[in-house]
Amino acid sequence: MSPQIAIPAAGLVVAARPGRNLLETLAEAGLHLEGPCGGAGRCGKCRVEILAGRPPRPTAEEKALLPAEDPARPVRLACLLIPESDLTISLPRALRDAPILSSGRSRARPFEPPLAETLPAGAGGSEAGDATAHLYGLAADIGTTTIVASLADLRDGRELGVRSRINPQTRHGLDIISRIAYCGEKGAAGTAELQKELTGALNDLALDLARDRQIEPRHIRLVAAAANTALIHILAGISPVSLGRAPFAPVFTRSLSLSPAVFGPGPLAGAGLITLPSVSAYIGADAVAGAFVCELAGLDRALFIDLGTNGEMILSSSGRLLACSCAAGPALEGMSIQYGLRAAAGAVSEVSLRRTPDEWRTELSVVGREAPAGLCGSGLLAAIREFLRLDLIRRDGRIRPAEELPAGDPRRALCRLWDGRPALGFTGTDIRLTQKDVRQTQLAKGAILSACRALLLQAGLETSDLERVLVAGQFGSHLSPASLTGCGLLPPELGGRLEYVGNTSRAGARLALTSRSALAAMEELAARIDYFELAAFPGYDRLFAESLRFPEPRFL
Measured distance CA(207)–CA(224) in Å, rounded: 16
Coil, helix or strand for 269? coil
Specify the pairing of strand 272-275 against strand 220-227: parallel
Lowest mean pLDDT among 304-308, 360-364, 381-385, 552-556: 552-556
Identify the residue with better confidence: 45 or 54: 54
In this structure, are 48 and 158 located in the same domain?
no
Model pLDDT, residue 371: 85
Q: Are 471 and 501 in contact (CB under 8 A)?
A: yes
At 499-520, the pLDDT tens digits run 888 889 999 999 999 888 999 9
Model pLDDT, residue 142: 94
Model pLDDT, residue 69: 57
CB atoms closer than 10 angstroms to residue 535: 10
Contacts of 425 (CB under 8 A, 6+ apart): 362, 414, 415, 416, 431, 432, 433
Mean of pLDDT values over 343-371:
87
Alpha helices for 103-170 (secondary structure H):
none
Measured distance CA(141)–CA(503) in Å, rounded: 8
Mean of pLDDT values over 484-512:
89
Q: What is the DSSP letter of 458?
A: H
In this structure, are 79 and 176 located in the same domain?
no
Band (pLDDT 50/70/90 cuts) for residue 532 is: very high
Model pLDDT, residue 126: 40
Tell whether the model's pLDDT for residue 100 goes beyond 60. no
CB atoms closer than 10 angstroms to residue 419: 11
In this structure, are 80 and 27 located in the same domain?
yes
Band (pLDDT 50/70/90 cuts) for residue 102 is: very low
Last residue of a domain, one of 368, 398, 432: 432
In this structure, are 124 and 82 located in the same domain?
no
At 213-253, the pLDDT tens digits run 999 999 999 999 999 999 999 999 999 999 988 888 999 99
**Is residue 450 in a domain?**
no
Band (pLDDT 50/70/90 cuts) for residue 127 is: very low
Question: Could you tell me what percent of the chain has a pLDDT over 90?
Answer: 52
In this structure, are 9 and 136 located in the same domain?
no
Tell whether the model's pLDDT for residue 115 goes beyond 80. no
Band (pLDDT 50/70/90 cuts) for residue 123 is: low
Tell whether the model's pLDDT for residue 147 goes beyond 70. yes
DSSP assignment of 315-328, as one string? EEETTEEEEEEEE-
At 271-294, the pLDDT tens digits run 999 999 999 999 999 999 999 999
Nearest Cα neighbor of 103 from 468, 500, 515 is 500
In this structure, are 207 and 77 located in the same domain?
no
Model pLDDT, residue 128: 42
Nearest Cα neighbor of 138 from 288, 2, 238, 262 is 262
Model pLDDT, residue 39: 65
Segment holding 200, helix H or strand E: helix 188-213
Chain CA centroid to CA 11, Å: 27
**Is residue 413 in a domain?**
yes
Lowest mean pLDDT among 53-67, 260-274, 515-529: 53-67
Tell whether the model's pLDDT for residue 542 goes beyond 90. yes
Contacts of 62 (CB under 8 A, 6+ apart): 41, 76, 77, 80, 81
| Beta pairing partners, 147 | 142, 165
In this structure, are 167 and 214 located in the same domain?
yes
Alpha helices for 491-550 (secondary structure H):
504-514, 516-528, 540-547
Mean of pLDDT values over 241-266:
92
Identify the residue with better confidence: 17 or 487: 487
At 194-214, the pLDDT tens digits run 999 999 999 999 999 999 999
Measured distance CA(325)–CA(213) in Å, rounded: 39
Q: What is the DSSP letter of 344?
A: S
Q: Are 48 and 8 in contact (CB under 8 A)?
A: no
**Is residue 523 in a domain?**
no
Mean of pLDDT values over 49-78:
77
**Is residue 482 in a domain?**
no
Q: Give the total number of structural domains in the chain.
A: 3
Mean of pLDDT values over 154-169:
88
Q: What is the CA radius of gyration of the chain?
A: 24
Mean of pLDDT values over 415-440:
93
Q: Round the average pLDDT of the chain to a whole number and report it.
A: 86
Segment holding 311, helix H or strand E: strand 310-317
Band (pLDDT 50/70/90 cuts) for residue 47 is: confident
Model pLDDT, residue 101: 45
In this structure, are 87 and 139 located in the same domain?
no
Last residue of a domain, one of 402, 432, 462: 432
Band (pLDDT 50/70/90 cuts) for residue 125 is: very low
Tell whether the model's pLDDT for residue 435 goes beyond 80. yes
Band (pLDDT 50/70/90 cuts) for residue 160 is: very high
Question: Could you tell me what percent of the chain has a pLDDT over 70?
Answer: 87
Tell whether the model's pLDDT for residue 24 goes beyond 80. no
| Per-residue CA distances from 59 to 46, 54, 65, 76, 336 (Å) | 16, 15, 10, 10, 22
Tell whether the model's pLDDT for residue 462 goes beyond 80. yes
**Is residue 521 in a domain?**
no
Specify the pairing of strand 75-77 against strand 87-90: unpaired
Measured distance CA(267)–CA(234) in Å, rounded: 20
Distance separating the N- and C-terminal Cα atoms of the chain: 64
Tell whether the model's pLDDT for residue 368 goes beyond 50. yes
CATH of the domain at 190: 3.30.420.480
Band (pLDDT 50/70/90 cuts) for residue 130 is: very low
Model pLDDT, residue 3: 86
**Is residue 510 in a domain?**
no
Burial of 246 (C-beta count, 10 Å sphere; 0-12/13-18/19+) = exposed
CB atoms closer than 10 angstroms to residue 542: 10
Identify the residue with better confidence: 534 or 115: 534
**Is residue 242 in a domain?**
yes
Lowest mean pLDDT among 71-85, 121-135, 530-544: 121-135
CB atoms closer than 10 angstroms to residue 275: 27
Measured distance CA(6)–CA(122) in Å, rounded: 43
Q: What is the DSSP letter of 119?
A: S
Alpha helices for 360-422 (secondary structure H):
377-389
CA atoms within 13 A on the CB side of 497: 17
Last residue of a domain, one of 398, 432, 466: 432
Identify the residue with better confidence: 538 or 119: 538
CA angle 519, 521, 526 (to 5 degrees): 95
In this structure, are 158 and 204 located in the same domain?
yes
Measured distance CA(83)–CA(71) in Å, rounded: 18
Specify the pairing of strand 159-166 against strand 87-90: unpaired
In this structure, are 122 and 226 located in the same domain?
yes
In this structure, are 260 and 145 located in the same domain?
yes
In this structure, are 83 and 135 located in the same domain?
no
Measured distance CA(134)–CA(310) in Å, rounded: 39
Q: Tell me the torsion sign for CA atoms 439, 445, 446, 447.
A: positive
DSSP assignment of 9-26, as one string? GGTEEEEPPTT--HHHHH
Q: Are 129 and 193 in contact (CB under 8 A)?
A: no
Model pLDDT, residue 247: 87
Q: Tell me the torsion sign for CA atoms 114, 115, 118, 119.
A: positive
CATH of the domain at 84: 3.10.20.30
Give the range of the structural domain holding residue 166, as residue numbers without chain letter: 116-283
At 334-350, the pLDDT tens digits run 777 888 887 777 889 89
Mean of pLDDT values over 156-171:
87
Measured distance CA(399)–CA(189) in Å, rounded: 45
**Is residue 508 in a domain?**
no
